[in-house]
Amino acid sequence: MTTANGVKPGKVLLVGEPMGLFSANQEGPLSEVGVWTASVAGAELNVAIGLKRLGQDPLYMTKIGDDPLGERIMAFLDANGLDTSLVRVDGGHHTGFMMKSRVSEGDPKTFYYRKDSAASTLGADDVERLDWTDISLTHITGILPPLSDSTLEAAYALVDQAREHGAFVSFDPNLRPALWKSEDVMTSTLRRLASRADLVMPGIGEGQVLFGVDTVEDTAKAFLDNGAKIVIVKDGPRGAYASDGSAEIRVPGFVVDHVVDTVGAGDGFAAGVLSSLLEGGDLADSMERGCALGAIQTQQVSDNEGLPTPDQLAEFIAVHKRAV
Q: For residue 220, give the H/E element and its range.
A: helix 216-226
Selecting among 126, 172, 267, 303, the annotated active-site residue is: 267
**CB-based burial, 213-243: b 16+ in 10 Å, e otherwise:** beebebbbbbbbebebbbbbbbbbbbbbbbb
55-59 long-range contacts, Cβ below 8 Å, gap at least 24? 55/275, 55/310, 56/12, 56/274, 56/275, 56/278, 57/10, 57/11, 57/12, 57/83, 58/11, 58/12, 58/13, 58/14, 58/82, 58/83, 59/11, 59/12, 59/13, 59/14, 59/83, 59/85, 59/86, 59/135
**312 vs 56: CA distance, rounded Å:** 16
**139 vs 147: CA distance, rounded Å:** 17
N- to C-terminal Cα separation, the chain: 23
**Is-catalytic flag, 303?**
no
What's the DSSP call for residue 117?
Answer: B
- As a dihedral over the C-alpha atoms of residue 34, residue 37, residue 41, residue 46, rounded to 10 degrees, the angle is -140
CB 306 within 8 A of CB 300: yes
Give one DSSP letter per residue of 173-209, joined into a string. ----GGGSS-HHHHHHHHHHHHHT-SEE--BHHHHHH
Task: Cite the active site residues.
Answer: 267
